[in-house]
Chains A and B, each alone.
Chain A
Amino acid sequence: MKTLAADNLTGLLVEWRDGDKAALDRLMPLVYDELRRIAHRYVQHERDGHTLQTSALVNEAYLRFAGQRKVDWQNRAHFFAVTAQVMRHILIDYARRRRYAKHGGEVRQVPIEDAAEMSLQRAGELIALEEALDELAKLDARKSQVVELRYFGGLSLEETAEVLEISLMTVRRDWRAAKAWLYRRIKHDS
């Protein structure tokens, strides 16, 4: 029987981490459930008058996700990255559906009594941000990642640096340049 040597295992983990789209797809439903749990906690605390750091909640989600005593740092970073991507997908999809419904779509009609309805204005903001982010990615992929991790993933500057394996200083600079660029782009459009 072939023995699975330690470096093989590392290989498997790396494969998972670097996972191309299909791997990410499989993670999404799992992460999606975690995100809803985070949202639930968030809303609950909001009602109680507390504010909660999204970053703390995402961290907690990862611990639940990993469920191990000692966890691999790389996987944690990967988890954060996937969480941000899933959050972005969900919100943008919802925003598009929302706008479509308003414009007379037949199928994706969101029920009027739905308390969770996203305001039309918010939907517009999100779609504008999405388009601007896509454009920024073509110009400077890392900056658009920084925004994705911070804005959609709720990560702190420090965690963003950890995930992208760049210095805190670089994250700060990327963030301010991206913010300026996105703001100008969106304002210009509207």
Chain B
Amino acid sequence: MTPERWQQVEAVLQEALDRPPLERASFLDHACAGDQELKEEASSLIAAYDEAGAFIEQPAMAQDAHVLLGVDSDANRGRQIGPYRIIDRLGAGGMAEVYLAQDTRLNRLVALKLLPAYFASDDARLRRFQSEARAASALNHPNILTIHEVGESDGEYFIATEFIDGQTIRELIKTQALSIEDVLDSVEQVASALAVAHAAGIVHRDIKPENIMRRPDGLVKILDFGIAKLSESAEDLKAGFRTQTEMGLVMGTVNYMSPEQARGLVVDERTDIWSLGVVLYEMVAGRLPFSGDTRADTIVAILDREPAPLAEAPLQSIVNKCLSKEVSGRYSTANELLADLKRAREQLNNVDAQSNNREHHPSRFVWPMIGVLVLLVAAVVGAFVYNRSPGTSAPPEATAAPAKLYAQMSERERLDFVAAQEQRISAMMGDRPVKLNDDAVRTIKTYVDRYASRIDGPPGSDEGSTKAIYERAQPYVPLIARSFAARKVPIIIGIYLPAIESAYQPCAESDLGAKGLFQLMPQTARNYGVARGDMCNEEKMTPAAAHFVADHMAELGEDAESITLVLVSYNRGAQSVRDILRQLRGTENYERNFWTLLANREKLDEAFRRETAGYVPSFFAAAIIGENPETFGLNTPPLSSLAAD
């Protein structure tokens, strides 16, 4: 059958199926007049449809879940592949499964890397697998994993390598604090291996903690020349470029990528220098030099941002030189890096030798300590301000009967009211007073108007009304105030975030899966100790949300001179706040607050204009109404007055 003919058959089939079964035969007679074959086709499909019943209605998972669990773990144990007998699964490395196996000829243990059968039919993958083998087996260095054999057995491709009974650097930094001495020793071994590989024209391209193993005796091995390319042929380079961009974007991590890799440019051995610089930084600092909430954020950091300085000065200059955005600014060979590492080790040893005289060598912990102190002082002062703010006791403006209802105000009066109230809410948030421009006031007013227009909601559906939101809010306020105050976060933030996030429905769920009063994603909730099943439980979610906001405040640190930016980060993540600030730096009247962002929204991305631009104004609108209920004809008290002292 041709696709065209099928279209014809299908049209008849669909129309027939739309009719009651008894009418179908006569419909076919009519619709297929003169085309007996068409009629037979359609009739047999209708018969098949009637007969098919439950056929493929249950997803495959319902029948085959146990098969999936059996694949590779049990199914491969004991299998014989060429001369190798599989003993156990060690893990999955990017494109292949890795097993512990016994070489039955030599009676030694090997690591056996198997290309899964469902990939074996794939030429591109096969080529990469073989190129790994080709590249790495050409190398002979104590710090590079030795390849015993590359082979194929009945259509199954494998690589047998020496088996290292050790831990990856990733596992090591996760489980223990490494001494600087250990770090430098490991990184030196990697650098010396890279020097040999580079001299042979081989670039690793994927240096990361997962690909470096350390044996208990301290010997380090580089694994997985999985995407290594012989950089001699131009053809290979071109192919390498393609592979790199595709893989880089999809692989587990982009954190160790060099800028040229991230941009999909041709890379040379200096990409390995960069990646090793990232590993060095991470091992020393315990955190990544470049990271972000999303892969895209991380790439932006790699391309544009300078990492926070390290406490160890001698290492700082090495890291700087490894992490030069410009390729030409980096060490040109791994040997140069190796020499500097050795020099740094000597310097640090000397420092240690003199370290009895501590006054002249402030410990690496002094600066962080001062930072903590400053934060503590700020927090105490902040808490004082919040407690003294009109938030906890009923503000005088609000207890007095309002001079005029919002509904009765003129446009001008409304604008003035919104402007004055914005200042008051800002003060309750502990924010620096900023006089808003007309555009900003108008934006807030748009939201105030919108909420005010549905104080009672549309007839018959009072659940979504503004009035209902504030009524629902009341019982939650004491808990929210307690939780947020405990985290030194202005309680006003905790009180009005749920108003705009979930309309104070404790079990609200967005179609993306965000859930609860504060609409956290399950992953976020879990990170803050709330199980998925507890996301409707406000007793658990509220402290988690307070913690989450507090972390954003701490994370943004000096980047957020204004608490409004913390609101933005609640909506978009801290990384995008930094990105946006960086993008706007240098614009006219630049200030670190949301209002600058709003004024420059045309320069920002669509997601900002569509969502975030309205997010903070709607927060203010919710707070303005909630703190001035009488002005809006509401019977509820100002919500902040419900916070227990």
Contacts and interface: CB of A to CB of B under 8 A. Distances in A.
Given A94-B71, A111-B78, A139-B1, A151 B6 contact: no
Most buried by A among B64, B124, B325: B64
Given A33-B92, A116-B70, A108 B154 contact: yes
Interface in B1-55: 1, 3, 6, 10, 13-14, 17, 44-49, 51-52, 55
B59 A154 contact: yes
B249 A36 contact: no
Interface in A38-57: 38-40, 42-43, 46, 54-55, 57
Interface residues of A, number: 87
B166 interface: no
A43 B65 contact: yes
B304 interface: yes
Q: Is the interface of A mostly helix, strand, loop or mixed?
A: helix
Given A70-B512, A177-B13, A182-B56, A91 B67 contact: yes
Interface stretch (B292-300, B381-389, B411-419): B292-300
B394 interface: no
Contacts of A89: 118
Most buried by A among B46, B60, B514: B60
Interface string B61-100: 1111111111100110111110000000000101100000
Interface stretch (B176-184, B239-247, B397-405): B239-247
Contacts of A173: 14
A87 B59 CA distance: 11
B79 A109 contact: yes
Interface stretch (B136-144, B517-525, B557-565, B635-643): B517-525
A120 interface: no
A140 B571 CA distance: 42
Interface string A112-146: 00111110001000100100000000111000000
B156 interface: yes
A94 B523 CA distance: 33
Interface string B299-326: 1100110000000000000000000010
Contacts of B606: 6
Given A63-B521, A140-B6, A69 B514 contact: yes
Contacts of B71: 36, 90, 94, 116
Given A108-B154, A110-B75, A3 B293 contact: no
A39 B45 contact: no
Contacts of A93: 116-118
A1 B60 contact: no
Interface string A151-178: 1111000000000000000000100110
A68 to B, nearest CB: 6
A38 to B, nearest CB: 7
Contacts of A26: 94-95, 246-247, 250-251
A102 to B, nearest CB: 15
B125 A25 contact: yes
B68 to A, nearest CB: 4
Contact of A68 (B49, B75, B263, B293): B293
Given A35-B68, A90-B68, A63 B119 contact: no
A120 B498 CA distance: 55
Q: Indicate the size class of the contact surface on chain B.
A: 35 or more
Contact of B64 (A109, A118, A153, A181): A118
B513 interface: yes
Nearest to A70: B512
A25 B79 contact: no
Contact of B48 (A118, A122, A138, A180): A180
Contacts of B67: 91, 94, 116, 118
Nearest to A71: B512
A107 to B, nearest CB: 4
Contact of B522 (A54, A57, A63, A147): A63
B201 interface: no
Contact of B154 (A42, A87, A106, A115): A106
B393 to A, nearest CB: 34
Interface string A12-41: 110110011111111111101101101110
A176 B66 contact: no
A40 B70 CA distance: 10
Nearest to A92: B118
A93 B61 CA distance: 15
Given A63-B513, A182-B56, A22 B70 contact: no
Contacts of B572: 70
Nearest to B251: A26
Interface string B237-262: 00000110111011110000000000
B614 interface: no
Nearest to B125: A25
Contacts of A103: none
A183 B65 contact: no
B153 A107 contact: yes
B122 interface: yes
B61 A12 contact: no
B70 A115 contact: yes
B573 interface: yes
Nearest to B62: A54
Contacts of B605: 6
Contacts of A150: 56, 59
B124 A180 contact: no
21 contacts: A20-B246, A30-B252, A39-B69, A42-B65, A43-B66, A63-B523, A87-B60, A87-B68, A91-B64, A91-B67, A97-B117, A105-B154, A107-B153, A107-B154, A151-B59, A153-B59, A154-B59, A177-B14, A177-B45, A179-B55, A181-B45
Interface of B: 1, 3, 6, 10, 13-14, 17, 44-49, 51-52, 55-56, 59-71, 74-75, 77-81, 92, 94-95, 116-119, 122, 124-125, 153-154, 156, 242-243, 245-247, 249-252, 263, 293-294, 296, 299-300, 303-304, 325, 512-514, 520-524, 571-573, 583, 604-606
Closest 7 CB pairs of A and B: A116-B70, A184-B48, A180-B49, A154-B59, A39-B68, A26-B250, A39-B65
Given A54-B62, A154-B59, A177-B10, 14 more contacts: A2-B263, A3-B583, A12-B296, A26-B246, A26-B247, A30-B252, A33-B92, A43-B65, A70-B514, A94-B67, A107-B154, A116-B67, A140-B6, A177-B13
